[in-house]
Every structure is written in structure tokens, then in C-alpha cells.
Amino acid sequence: MQQFIDAAPGIRLWTEQRGAADAAPLLLIMGAQATGVGWPDPLVESLAPHHRVIRYDHRDTGRSTWPFEERPYRIADLAEDAIAVLDGLGIERAHIVGMSLGGMLAQMLLADHPDRVLSATLFGTCALSTTSYTRPDGSTVPVGELPGIAPEVLELWARPMEDHGPEAEVRRRLEHWRVLAGDQLPFDAGFFRSLEQGVIAHTGHHRVSTAHARADDSGMLRTEQLAANRVPVLVLSGPAEPVFPLPHPQHLAQCVNGAHVVEIPGMGHALPPAVHTPLADAILSHTAAVR
């Protein structure tokens, strides 16, 4: 079922729900510039027998309002949009799953709205904390010295965004996914081509916004609140992750009180078919334990 939610004056967000209406809600929060349909259908379908699964389009993605050029907003507003989605659908509390920027937004929800969160699963992201990382040998690493984004990703992101038509845009996105997926699993070009063709069809055009990269990211740190967390949190570790590589997942779990880490073999910063089953299994094991 599809529905539009009024998140703020002049801001409408596209949402979709799958699964039984009386099942425990599970809100999927995608990364920067990514639509809700960036959550692959097979993964959503594997979660839907157990949950009322909700995915949605951020502002400036998909079928939601694209307001940034006239009315710039803060990253923090995207976190509040997630709460607006729950409010608009009449949901008091939900399990949340956040990938990449979505994982950061999920941390903000843990810190600012813990009463709305049944559990959280975070991956492909970094801690919104200034706490140092403690290695297994007991030595510490300041946050600023943790491994950064892989050079090949930075090079790709530095290229100018030029419109050469929809087919060229699909090819550009395929190259992007090839780099983000890492080098531990065979790259499924057919899957990602179909995914991006679906995103373009869903959106109605092939244009790409850079709003989230330009949005005000001040005030995102939640060091003390995460250290005092009481919500069950699962951190998924991708050994091929090129954006927030190891030990970022371990650091995140250290920063969020009570969090634990599960590795998804071969996973990078993408959701190819090979990770759908282990990813769904990990999420469902976590949410089932909370219920």
C-alpha cells in the first residue's frame, strides 16, 4: 500500500507498506540521495511475513517533495521526517533499520526519540560520537584517526554530475555500485541495472539531486545520548565496506550502549542478492528477540 505523508509545511513524503497491518512495524531508512525503492524488493519481501515493513522516499528523492533549492534544510530534518512517517501512519513505536546516512538518522532517533524505537539495526555507517575506539589489545584510536573512505570511492564522488541521458545515467550508477559493493562478492550488474531502472521509473526522471551532500550537517553528534542508550541495537559489519571500513562497525557498537555486532559475509556498501538472506536473517533474529 502506498501513501503520502505530510511531514512539514510543503513537504510530502512517499511511503509504501508491506505485510500485515497488525504486525510489528519495521521502518527502513535509506542512505543519502537514495529512494525507498533502493531497498531491494526481495529483501523487503523476506521481512514482510514477520513485520509491517515501511519504506519511504527522503526529501529530494523519488516521489517525495524536492524542496532543497528553494528551501534548504538540515540533515537533522531528515531524522524528524522519519518520525513524521510514523506519526502519519499512526505508529507509536517501530523497529528501525538504517543504512549509511540512514544509519546516522537512526542514531539520532535513538538519541532524541527512544520512546518511538523498539529496536535498531545499523550498518554501512559511522558513530555520531566523539568516543575513541578501543582496539582488542586495549589501545585506543581517536575518532579522527579511524580509516577513511576508500580512494576509489572519493574519486568517483569527485566527478562532476553531468546529464547525458537516462542510459548514460544508469551506466554511471552501475559503476558507482560496482565500487561501493567492494571486492569480496561477484558484482551482479544485471541486478543493479534492474534496481536503478526501477528507481528511475519510480521517480519519473533520471535526474540526481545533491541536496543531502549540501545540507547543513551541524549538530549531529549524540555522544552522551548514545552512551546512555537503552534500546536494543544491532550493528552489522560488512568486511568489504569501502565507505566506513573496519573497525567502524566495532567502534559504533562501543559508542552505543548495549549494541552488539554481527558480520554479513562479503557485504560492502551495497545490497546485492548474495547478502539479502543473511541480512534478513540477522534483522529478524534481532527483532524477534526484542518482541
Q: What is the 3 state secondary structure string of the chain?
A: CEEEEEEECCEEEEEEEECCCCCCEEEEECCCCCCHHHCCHHHHHHHCCCCEEEEECCCCCCCCCCCCCCCCCEHHHHHHHHHHHHHHCCCCCEEEEEECHHHHHHHHHHHHCHHHEEEEEEECCCCCCCCCEECCCCCEECHHHCCCCCHHHHHHHHCCCCCCCHHHHHHHHHHHHHHHCCCCCCCCHHHHHHHHHHHHHHHCCCCCCCHHHHCECCCCCCHHHHHCCCCCEEEEECCCCCCCCCCHHHHHHHHCCCCEEEECCCCCCCCCHHHHHHHHHHHHHHHHHHC
- What pLDDT is recorded for position 32? 97
- What pLDDT is recorded for position 109? 98
Amino acid at 121: T
> Are 41 and 27 within 8 A, CB to CB?
no
CA distance 225 to 115: 13
Q: Name the β-bridge partners of 234.
A: 121, 260
Residue with cell 535526474: 207
CA distance 16 to 45: 12
Mean pLDDT of the chain: 97
- What pLDDT is recorded for position 234? 98
Domains, the chain: 2-290 (3.40.50.1820)
- What pLDDT is recorded for position 280? 98
- What pLDDT is recorded for position 63? 98
- What pLDDT is recorded for position 164? 81
* Stretch 64-74: mean pLDDT: 97
- What pLDDT is recorded for position 245? 98
How far is Cα of residue 59 from the mean position of the Cα atoms in its chain? 14
- Tell me the C-alpha to C-alpha distance, in Å, between residue 253 and each of 26, 113, 120, 136, 205: 21, 19, 12, 13, 39
Q: Name the β-bridge partners of 3.
A: 15
User: Between these two residues, 208 and 29, which has the higher pLDDT value?
Assistant: 29
* Stretch 138-150: mean pLDDT: 97
* Stretch 42-63: mean pLDDT: 98
- What pLDDT is recorded for position 270? 98
- What pLDDT is recorded for position 163? 83
Buried b (16+ CB within 10 A) or exposed e, 215-238: beeeebebeebbeebebbbbbbbb
Percentage of residues of the chain with pLDDT beyond 90? 97
Q: How confident is the model at residue 232 (pLDDT cuts 50, 70, 90)?
A: very high
- What pLDDT is recorded for position 196? 97
- How many CB atoms within 10 Å of residue 210? 12
Q: How confident is the model at residue 291 (pLDDT cuts 50, 70, 90)?
A: low
pLDDT exceeds 80 at position 50: yes
How far is Cα of residue 122 from the mean position of the Cα atoms in its chain? 8
- What pLDDT is recorded for position 113? 98
Q: How confident is the model at residue 162 (pLDDT cuts 50, 70, 90)?
A: confident
Nearest of 181, 195, 44 to residue 124 by alpha carbon: 181
- What pLDDT is recorded for position 161? 81
Sign of CA dihedral 242, 33, 45, 289: positive
